[in-house]
Amino acid sequence: MSKHIAVLVSGGGTNLQALIDAQARGELINGEITAVISSNPGAYALERAAKAGIPGYVVARKEFPSSQAMTAALVEQLRALDIDLVVLAGFMVILTGEMVRAFPNAILNVHPALIPSFAGPGCYGLHVHEKALEYGVKLSGATVHFVSEECDGGPIVLQKAVEVLPDDTPEVLQRRIMEQCEWQLLPQAVSLFCQDRLKVEGRTVRVLEHPERGTRNAE
């Protein structure tokens, strides 16, 4: 039975599109995107979902008095949709611990740097690539990790690096990392999760050759 995947978005949805395209190619093995939930009613990602025939929902931050209230509503929505895996794909809202406790080792995020570099509070979007260029790194990349209560601090699932070139701007580096890292890693990680091939052991995630029942929530 396929696992139900919800993708949480706030903007254009390029990583969502990578997942939609992977699903169309049959690469999300044992998984199906059954919901796209946006914190922004005007997000173009909702149009991408509609074009792919995926139901879209809005849980807008401005409709709630606090992040905790929004998180509670989101958890309720996800449970009502019988979701097995939550994917944060450019979701620009800070969620409280209730989300992690409701879906332990079942929330994936993609971060546009090689964690632990250029990660944590304030490191999002172009800011990440600006910091990387300011620091003078020769390599950057992307990380897919499980979400914990620490910002960008959950166990790392997959990483991929690209070269930083001398004439790179933040926008050019961002595009290279999206195309060569994020859009490849995220579908791979989602597919591995849906096949029960990710085993969490403390801070380490082992990728299993063969599915193992009940591994995704292991500690």
Check whether 44 has a pLDDT greater than 70: yes
Q: What angle do CA 134, 136, 140 make, to 5 degrees?
A: 100
**Annotated catalytic residue 210:** no
The predicted structure's pLDDT at residue 117: 95
Among 11-15, 91-95, 139-143, which is the least confidently predicted range?
91-95
Catalytic position from the list 4, 111, 129, 210: 111
Residue 110's pLDDT band (cuts 50, 70, 90): very high
pLDDT tens per residue across span 150-185: 888 999 999 999 999 999 999 999 999 999 999 999
What's the predicted TM-score (pTM) here?
A: 0.93
% residues pLDDT > 90 (the chain): 86
- Give domain limits for the chain: 3-205
Whether a cis peptide bond, with omega within 30° of 0, leads into 41 is no
**CATH architecture for the domain at 3-205:** 3-Layer(aba) Sandwich (3.40)
> In this predicted structure, what is the pLDDT of residue 124?
86
For the chain, the average pLDDT equals: 94
